[in-house]
Structure 1
Amino acid sequence: MINLHQPDLGQAELAAVAEVFADSWAGHGPRTQAFEAKFAEHLGVDADHLVFLNSATAALFLSCELLGLTAGDEVVLPSNSFVAAANAIVRNGGQPVFCDVDPRTLNPTPEDVAKVLTRRTKAVVVLHYGGAPGEVAGISELCRERGVVLVEDAACAVSSDVNGRACGTFGDLGVWSFDAMKILVTADGGMLYARNLEHARRARRLAYHGLEKASGFAAARESARWWEVDLQETGHRFIGNDLAAALGTVQLRRLPDFVHRRRAIAAQYDQLLSGVPGVTLPPALPDGHVSSHYFYWVRVDAEIRNQVAVQLLERGVFTSFRYPPLHKVPLYRSNAILPATEHASRSTLLLPLHQGLDDHEVRTVADEFRKAVEYHLS
C-alpha cells in the first residue's frame, strides 16, 4: 500500500532515544527546553514564547482557555477544519461560527471571515490548508482592526511562511502538530506560541496542573522544602517530555530535507497530472509564500470522486479527504450556507504525499489516478 502519510524515522532518532534511556529521565526536562529553543530559532521568535506540549489539540484547548471565553462569545473558524478546533472552543464555553473558504486554495479569505464577524466575536481561528499560508497576513490585519484575537492552527504548516515570516506567528496565538502523520514527528506532540509573554507563562503553568513550579529535583536546589507546591489555578497535564523532544530535535534538523523532497513530489504531480481531463490541480503559491506541502489535493467531478478513491484503494493507493465540513457534522450542525466548502467536500481528494515516496511510487500514484478518472468519466 502506498500510504497517504508516513513518518521518516531512522537511526539518528534511535540514537537520540537511546541517549534519553541512558540518562534515566524520559519526562519533562532539559531536552524539552532544548527542543523549544531550537524550534524558536526555526520560527524566528524568543523561546520564552513557546511551550512544548503533548499534542496540538492540547495547544488549541490552552489557546481557548487563554481567551477567557464566556457564554455568548463567538469564535470564527473555517468549516473545513479538524474537529479539535471546534471541540476546544465549545469545551471552553464558546460558540463556533463557521466561515467559507476560497474555492481554489481552500483557505479562508479576509472577506470570508469578515462576513461572519459580529460584536460577539472574541477570536478567529485560521487553518493553513495543506501547509499553504493563505491570506493570513490580511486576516491578521482584519483581526487587529476589529480588536479580535487571531489563533493560527499551523498544524500542517511547520515550514510555511509569507515573505520570511513563519506561519503561526502572525496571530496572537499559534499551534503546530508533531503527531505520527505530520512532517516533523515526535510520535505525539505539539507546540504553542503566545505573542504575549504573560500568556506564554500562564500556558506553561496551565499545562502542568496550574503549578507555578515543579516540586521535584530541580526545586531542591532552590528551597529546603522543595516538596511543597505553589498552586496558582487549576490546570491540566499537557506537558511534553524529553523522549518526544529528543525525536523532535533530530526531526527538526532533518526538516529542510523533508520539505525539499515534498516540494519535489508536488512538482512531479503537477507535471504528471497536468492536462488530465476533469481534474483540477492545486493553485500555484503567490509570490513570497512558502508551503510545507503537507497535502496534495486534486478536484474531480463530485459524482465520481468516491468511486475514484475506491478504485485507487483496490490498486494499492490510499487516498482520503480532509476535512469533512464541521457545519455538517451532527454535533456542530448549523444552517450556515458555505458553497465553496461544501463543493470541496464533495470533489476533493488527497493523494499520497510524504518524504518517503520515491519517484516510481509518485508515477504509480499519478498513473493509477489518471486511469481511474478516465474510467469513471467514460
Structure 2
Amino acid sequence: MPSPMINVFQPSLGEEELAAVGEVFASCWIGRGPRVDAFESGFAEHIGVPRNQVTSMNSCTEATFLAMELLGVGPGDEVVLPTVTFVGTANAVASRGARPVFCDVDPRTLNAGVADVRSRLTARTKAVLLLHYGGHPGEIARIADLCRERGIGLIEDAANAQASSVEGRACGTFGDIGVWSFDHGKIAVAVDGAIMYTKDPELAARAAKLAYLGMEQATGYGEAMRTHTRWWDFEVSSFSRRSIMNDVLAAIGVVQLGKLKGFVARRREITARYDENLRGVAGLVPRPVLPAGHESSYYLYWVQMDAGIRDVVARDLYDRGIYTTFRYPLLHKVKAYGGDAHLPSAERAAAATLCLPLHQALGPDEVDFVSAALAEAVTSRTAAIA
C-alpha cells in the first residue's frame, strides 16, 4: 500500500508561490492591493472578457450569495438548480427567502440538460443556477438560449470549470453571472478566493461595491488615492458585507494562473491514462466522452458501477491507500430545503458513481496503481453478487 494516501484533490504549490507571498510580506501591504488587481486582470484575460466586468471575492460561496442579490432574488421566487451540486448554491438561494427547485441530471455526465431545466420552470422562476459538473460544459449554450427566451437570469457555477469552454467561449460567460472557485481543492488555487464575472457592466460595478461594504469610494490602495484629495471619505449605497480578496491570496493566485494551462494538460494526460487502463473492465462504466467543440478542465474523473457494490469498492480502495469520493450528495434529499422531488436519473447516478484521484501531481505509477486496484475491486465484488 502506498504511503501516504493517494488524494482525490491536491494542490501543486512550490517555491514560486512562496516567493510571491514573501514579496507581499516585504511590501507591508497584505490587504487588497496591486496583487488583487493583477489577479483580476489575469483572469479577465484568461476568459476573454473586459477587465471591468471581473471582481475577486473571498470565496465562491460568497460570490454565489452576492449573485442572488444582484439578480434581485427574493421571497416567493424560485431558482432552478441541479440536485447534483455544491450545498453553498442552495444555501445562497434559501438565504434570500427564495425556493431552491432541484432538477434532474443526465445519468452519465451528471450535468443538468436543457430538458431537465425546462421541466422545472414556472411563473415564479427568477433564475437558473447551473453547475459544469467535473469541468464538462454540458448543454450550457442551449440553456443560456432558453433563459434568454424566458427572461430568466442565468448564473453559472464554474467552480469545476476554470479552463472549460464551448467552441472557444469560456464556461462562466454564457449567462448573466459566472463564478469560479480558487479554494484549496481546485486546479489553480489561491488557498481560498473566487472570481465573479458579470455580463452587464453596470451590474459589475455594483458587484464591486457590494463586495466591499457598499462603499461608493473604497478607501486605501487604488484609484481613490490617485484621484481624490480626501481619499478616506466615502458614501454607502447598500448595507453589504466585506467579501473582498487580499494580496496574500491573490499573489498565490497570480502564480497559479500562469500554470493553469500546464495543469490542465497534465490532467488531460492522466484522464487518458485512466481511460486506457480501465477500458474493457467488466462491470465498470467509463467516463462520458466530450462532444465535439467542448473543452474540459478535467476537474473530476468519475466511473460508474452497480450501485450494490459502489460503497464497498470505495472501502476496498481506501483500505489500499486510495481516497475516492462522490461529488455532490443530492440536495433534493436534504430536509432543510423542503424538497419532495423524485429525480430518478440523479438518484441512480448518485448511487453508482465514484470519483477517482485526479490532480496534476499524480505520477504514472500512481494512476496505474489506482486503475489496477479499482479493476480488481470491481471484478471481485461483481463476482460476489453474481
TM-score scaled to structure 1, two decimals?
0.98
Q: Is the 1:61–1:89 contact (alpha carbons within 8 Å) kept by the matching residues of 2?
A: yes
Alignment partner of 1:255 out of 260, 272, 294: 260
Structure-to-structure mapping, 1:82-161, within 5 angstroms: 82-161=86-165
| Residues in 2 aligned to 1:172 and 1:220: alpha-carbon distance in whole angstroms | 32
Q: Does 2:271 match 1:234?
A: no
Determine helix, strand or coil for the equivalent of 1:192.
strand
Alignment partner of 1:331 out of 328, 336, 340: 336
Corresponding residue for residue 3 of structure 1 = 7
Matched to 1:29, the amino acid is G
Distance 1:217 1:284, change over 3 A: closer
Corresponding residue for residue 169 of structure 2 = 165
| Residues in 2 aligned to 1:36 and 1:225: alpha-carbon distance in whole angstroms | 26
Q: Does 2:273 match 1:274?
A: no
| Residues in 1 aligned to 2:111 and 2:177: alpha-carbon distance in whole angstroms | 18
TM-score scaled to structure 2, two decimals?
0.96
Distance 1:221 1:266, change over 3 A: closer
Alignment partner of 2:16 out of 3, 12, 16: 12
Deviation at 1:63, TM superposition (A): 0.4
Deviation at 1:224, TM superposition (A): 3.9
Distance 1:21 1:303, change over 3 A: same
Deviation at 1:221, TM superposition (A): 4.4
Q: Give the gaps of 5 or more residues in structure 2.
A: none
Determine helix, strand or coil for the equivalent of 2:244.
coil
Matched to 1:39, the amino acid is F
Deviation at 1:220, TM superposition (A): 4.5
Deviation at 1:222, TM superposition (A): 3.7
Determine helix, strand or coil for the equivalent of 2:102.
strand
Distance 1:217 1:76, change over 3 A: closer
Matched to 1:267, the amino acid is A
Determine helix, strand or coil for the equivalent of 1:116.
coil
CA-atom RMSD, angstroms?
Answer: 1.0
Corresponding residue for residue 289 of structure 2 = 284
Q: Does 2:338 match 1:341?
A: no
Distance 1:364 1:148, change over 3 A: same
Q: Is the 1:56–1:176 contact (alpha carbons within 8 Å) kept by the matching residues of 2?
A: yes
Matched to 2:321, the amino acid is G
Q: 1:20-44 deviations in whole A, cap 9, x for unaligned?
A: 1111111101111111111111000
Deviation at 1:213, TM superposition (A): 1.6
| Residues in 1 aligned to 2:382 and 2:252: alpha-carbon distance in whole angstroms | 45
Q: Is the 1:60–1:175 contact (alpha carbons within 8 Å) kept by the matching residues of 2?
A: yes
Deviation at 1:333, TM superposition (A): 4.2
Q: 1:174-220 deviations in whole A, cap 9, x for unaligned?
A: 00000000001000011000000111111111111110122235534
Corresponding residue for residue 200 of structure 1 = 204
Determine helix, strand or coil for the equivalent of 1:61.
helix
Determine helix, strand or coil for the equivalent of 1:122.
strand
Structure-to-structure mapping, 1:207-246, within 5 angstroms: 207-216=211-220, 218=222, 219-246=224-251
Alignment partner of 1:79 out of 72, 83, 107: 83
Deviation at 1:283, TM superposition (A): 1.1
Q: How many residues align?
A: 378
| Residues in 1 aligned to 2:172 and 2:265: alpha-carbon distance in whole angstroms | 20
Q: Is the 2:32–2:221 contact (alpha carbons within 8 Å) kept by the matching residues of 1?
A: no
Determine helix, strand or coil for the equivalent of 1:205.
helix
Matched to 1:169, the amino acid is T
| Residues in 1 aligned to 2:188 and 2:49: alpha-carbon distance in whole angstroms | 19
Deviation at 1:229, TM superposition (A): 2.4
Distance 1:268 1:220, change over 3 A: closer
Q: Is the 2:181–2:195 contact (alpha carbons within 8 Å) kept by the matching residues of 1?
A: yes
Determine helix, strand or coil for the equivalent of 2:264.
helix
* Range 216-225 or range 32-41, more displaced: 216-225
Deviation at 1:260, TM superposition (A): 0.3
| Residues in 1 aligned to 2:112 and 2:358: alpha-carbon distance in whole angstroms | 23
Q: Does 2:60 match 1:56?
A: yes
Q: Does 2:18 match 1:22?
A: no
Matched to 2:38, the amino acid is A
Q: 1:36-80 deviations in whole A, cap 9, x for unaligned?
A: 111111000001000011111111011001111222110000000
Alignment partner of 1:31 out of 25, 29, 35: 35
Determine helix, strand or coil for the equivalent of 2:283.
coil
* Range 31-40 or range 154-163, more displaced: 31-40
Q: Is the 1:326–1:333 contact (alpha carbons within 8 Å) kept by the matching residues of 2?
A: no
Q: Identity, % of aligned pairs?
A: 55
Q: Is the 2:94–2:337 contact (alpha carbons within 8 Å) kept by the matching residues of 1?
A: no
| Residues in 1 aligned to 2:364 and 2:221: alpha-carbon distance in whole angstroms | 51
| Residues in 2 aligned to 1:368 and 1:147: alpha-carbon distance in whole angstroms | 50
* Range 7-16 or range 224-233, more displaced: 224-233
| Residues in 2 aligned to 1:222 and 1:48: alpha-carbon distance in whole angstroms | 18
